[in-house]
Amino acid sequence: MENSEPALKRPCQARARKTPFQTKHALQYGLSITARDPGSSEVVVVRCQFCVCFGCEVISKKSSTTWTFEGPPFQTDNYTQHLRLNHKTRWEEYQGLAQQEKSKYFDVTVKHAETICHYIESRSEAITLTVGSRIVDVVIGDMLWHPTEMEGQTRENALSLFKRKEDGSYLVEINKSKQFLLVTRFVGRGMSFAMAADAIHDAKEVCDIVKLGACNDYLVASYARATCAISIEHISQVLCSKWAFSVAFDVSTDLQQTSWVDVRIRYYQNSTLENLHLLTLPFAGRHTGLATFAMFEKLFDAVCPLWKDKLIGCSTDGAAN
């Protein structure tokens, strides 16, 4: 029967799908073997050395972000498509090299690319963000300011990360982004400023990452102020976009007889009631309702200037009339 011929070709197609990796393709397409089957020792994963050493030249929807190819089957079409889309310039250069030149093309670069220093260098772009002037001037530079705890550091020095722009807002630019992200995580996990600075020094020394840079508790404090300002800026944008929200206060005094006001906000979003911690402020003087409201008014004039049209409720715990 005529229909029997296509049926006979199907086993051949199945065998083609099991195409093993050919060793000569490693040099031909700039690949390196990264994993083998423990039983048969056949290659199961290869890695694109152009990705490892140089990264992608162009990031687009058509570009593949896969650094590795798993198989079998190992198809040359997948290699060439990946190289043309992600490494067009270097792939054309590589194709024009002699076999001996190809074998040395990645030698020096691969050794550096596999170190932590390469990770720090290639992924340490500066972090740049904009913060409103009221948040920096009123909240960070006034309400959260403790002159007695600055140990001689001036306000200008403490707020050095904030650069005023022509429109009045502030620009926060973090050049050592990896150091900043590590410090933020350390402090977020409960480390003091001094402990976070020591942890950065230990990571730099043990892992031999010179580009992490020097760090001290003053710099950690500056990072903490920038993080607070950025977080409050995000919360400010959320509150200004809501038609209504409520506020809750919790006033207390610690063992050192320092009073604090914990401020939480609640608003409706995505079918749920969000309960978000805004910040904790030092509170001097008596815990009267008038003093609490004055603090509240100053804070929300900075965070959400339209709060009078949006506030639907306010509760306090620990305040005395």
- Render pLDDT for 106-155 as a digit per residue (tens, 0 to 9): 875 555 455 555 555 444 467 888 999 999 999 998 888 876 666 667 78
| 201 and 154 inside one domain | yes
Residue 36 to residue 168: CA distance in whole angstroms: 60
Residue 321's pLDDT band (boundaries 50, 70, 90)?
A: very low
Dump pLDDT digits (tens) for 151-198: 667 788 888 889 999 999 999 988 888 899 999 999 999 999 999 999
Domain that holds residue 161: 127-237
Strand partners, 170: 131, 164
9/93 same-domain check: yes
CB 109 within 8 A of CB 202: no
Distance CA 206, CA 214 (A): 14
| One domain, residues 11 and 91 | yes
Contact (Cβ atoms closer than 8 angstroms) between residue 144 and residue 209: no
Compute the average pLDDT of residues 280-298: 82
Tell me the pTM. 0.59
- Compute the radius of gyration of the chain from its Cα atoms: 29
Beta bridge partners of 69: 46
Bridge partners (DSSP) of residue 252 are: 260
Cis upstream peptide for 72 (omega within 30°): yes
Kindly state the average pLDDT of the residues 263-280.
89
Given its phi and psi angles, is residue 18 left (phi above 0), alpha (psi -120 to 50 degrees) or beta?
A: alpha
Residue 58 lies in a domain: yes
Asked if residue 86 lies in contact with residue 64, where contact means CB atoms within 8 angstroms, the answer is yes
Q: 139: which residues sit within 8 A by CB, 6+ positions away?
A: 228, 229, 232, 279, 299, 302, 303
Residue 258 backbone phi and psi in degrees, to 5: -100, 130
Last residue of a domain, one of 237, 264, 285: 237
Determine the pLDDT at residue 8.
40
How many structural domains comprise the chain?
Answer: 3
- Cα 140 to Cα 134: distance, rounded to the nearest angstrom: 9
For residues 44 and 68, membership in a common domain is answered with: yes
Residue 315's Cβ-side half-sphere holds a number of Cα atoms within 13 Å equal to: 7
Domain-terminating residue out of 57, 72, 105 = 105
Whether residue 118 lies inside any domain: the answer is no
Of the candidate ranges 17-31, 127-141, 278-292, the one whose mean pLDDT is the lowest = 278-292
pLDDT at 15: 45
- Out of 237, 269, 299, a domain closes at 237
Instruction: Check whether residue 217 and residue 255 sit in a common domain.
Output: no
